[in-house]
Amino acid sequence: MTQPAAALLDVRDLSVAIGDAPVVDGISFAIRPGETLALVGESGCGKSLAARAIMGLLPPVARRRAGTVALEGRDIAGLDETALAALRGDVMSMIFQEPVASLNPLMTVGEQIIEALRAHRGESRRGATQAALAMLQEVGIADGTRRMAQYPFELSGGMCQRVMIAIALICRPRLLIADEPTTALDVTIQAQILALIKRLRQETGTGLLLITHDMGVVADMADRMCVMYAGRIVEEGDVFALFRQQQHPYTKLLLRSLPPIEGERRARLSTIDGVVPDLRSWPAGCRFNPRCPIADDICRNERPPLARVGAAPQSAACWHQDRVVELDAR
């Protein structure tokens, strides 16, 4: 019998705080080589901060309070900056949500792409330049020689996004974290970038943590999905199982808010009442309870555990998993 591959990335009980506010509160997940895990949820739920904690790139106002981050079996959460810098851009890379702000305005695009190859692989300048030109072509940037000599402020937002993707992929990392990687791209380039990431995953066994609001991208790219709300994971499991049947009210309402692809068009899109609560005063019990149509006293007072749902390949943190189907009639 074939044993499942060991985890490439194993995050356990990760907690990140800004001041005393637990923005990321005890989340756990694992990614195997060649697997894509999508992390979804509304803005403000802690997805990007969790990704930055994995990379060791938390902003000065944030700190990791607890938890382990194991990369290929090695806990990297406690490494110093020198050790982490040796991993970033080589073994693990990140495509940031704001590429214009993430690129160095004082360095040409070419220098920023070849920097990782020369630093981590000892590549000659000529060899690194040729590799950078080839990567620019792969991410859909024509006239690479001219673009290599330009600075980020001379490029459009979508072009900067593609440069950021080229930097992240140039060393063929084992772990790739992609935070809204196709937001500023038109659909043709988006398809090209997603195909490139898929090919990298197949050829090198790269594991992908995909943070996105685009459920079409999730359906196309991801093997498993974690749904995050107010700093916690409220549901996780196989992507197609989650799309077929949701076991947490938040997941159900989140997917219902999407416009239908087929069938009868609704006059108005469904919405989730209320907003994500203030991170300085998370609600007691289930944090979704102030917005949940089926919440009752236990939801308002006791925190539900993330528990397996029968024989389904998914888990949910809800006291009323058997009642979630009631939302279909609302």
User: What's the pLDDT score for residue 266?
Assistant: 56
Task: State whether 138 and 188 are in the same domain.
Answer: yes
Task: State whether 13 and 151 are in the same domain.
Answer: yes
Task: State whether 251 and 191 are in the same domain.
Answer: no
Say if residues 22 and 15 touch (Cβ distance below 8 Å): yes
pLDDT category of residue 1 using cuts at 50, 70 and 90 = very low
User: What's the pLDDT score for residue 309?
Assistant: 81
Examine residue 108 and state whether it is found in any structural domain, yes or no.
yes
Q: What percent of the chain has a predicted confidence (pLDDT) above 90?
A: 65
User: What's the pLDDT score for residue 251?
Assistant: 95
Q: Could you say which DSSP state residue 324 is in?
A: G
pLDDT category of residue 187 using cuts at 50, 70 and 90 = confident
**Domain containing 288: what range?**
247-329
Q: How far apart are CA 189 and CA 137, in angstroms?
A: 11
Task: State whether 203 and 307 are in the same domain.
Answer: no
Q: How far apart are CA 320 and CA 288, in angstroms?
A: 13
pLDDT category of residue 315 using cuts at 50, 70 and 90 = very high
Examine residue 232 and state whether it is found in any structural domain, yes or no.
no
Task: State whether 110 and 210 are in the same domain.
Answer: yes
Average pLDDT over residues 283-308: 95
User: What's the pLDDT score for residue 286?
Assistant: 96
Average pLDDT over residues 287-295: 95
pLDDT tens by residue, 32-85: 999 999 999 998 899 999 999 999 999 999 999 999 999 999 999 989 999 999
Q: Look at residues 207, 222, 237 and tell me which one is the last residue of a structural domain.
A: 222
User: What's the pLDDT score for residue 247?
Assistant: 93
User: What's the pLDDT score for residue 3?
Assistant: 43
Examine residue 4 and state whether it is found in any structural domain, yes or no.
no
Task: State whether 190 and 260 are in the same domain.
Answer: no
Task: State whether 153 and 30 are in the same domain.
Answer: yes
pLDDT category of residue 267 using cuts at 50, 70 and 90 = low
pLDDT category of residue 236 using cuts at 50, 70 and 90 = very high
Most confident by average pLDDT, 33-37, 120-124, 323-327: 33-37
For the purposes of burial, counting CB atoms within 10 Å of the CB of 177, is it exposed (0-12), middle (13-18) or buried (19 or more)? buried
Residue 30 has pLDDT above 90, yes or no: yes
Task: State whether 164 and 259 are in the same domain.
Answer: no
Task: State whether 314 and 179 are in the same domain.
Answer: no
Average pLDDT over residues 224-228: 96
Examine residue 137 and state whether it is found in any structural domain, yes or no.
yes
Q: Which two tokens stand for residue 185?
A: 């791209």
Average pLDDT over residues 278-298: 93
CATH number of the domain enclosing 88 = 3.40.50.300
Residue 228 has pLDDT above 90, yes or no: yes
Tally of residues, the chain: 330
* Alpha-carbon distances, residue 326 vs 20, 246, 248, 322, 323 (angstroms): 37, 11, 11, 9, 5
Residue 101 has pLDDT above 90, yes or no: no
Examine residue 132 and state whether it is found in any structural domain, yes or no.
yes
User: What's the pLDDT score for residue 168?
Assistant: 92
Task: State whether 102 and 172 are in the same domain.
Answer: yes
pLDDT category of residue 102 using cuts at 50, 70 and 90 = confident
Examine residue 239 and state whether it is found in any structural domain, yes or no.
no
Q: What is the mean pLDDT of the chain?
A: 90
Examine residue 145 and state whether it is found in any structural domain, yes or no.
yes
Number of domains into which the chain is organized: 2
User: What's the pLDDT score for residue 158?
Assistant: 85
pLDDT tens by residue, 296-308: 999 999 999 999 8
* Alpha-carbon distances, residue 195 vs 180, 199, 277 (angstroms): 15, 6, 37
pTM: 0.92
Q: Which two tokens stand for residue 130?
A: 């040729």
Examine residue 229 and state whether it is found in any structural domain, yes or no.
no
Task: State whether 57 and 158 are in the same domain.
Answer: yes
pLDDT category of residue 192 using cuts at 50, 70 and 90 = confident
Task: State whether 157 and 275 are in the same domain.
Answer: no
pLDDT category of residue 229 using cuts at 50, 70 and 90 = very high
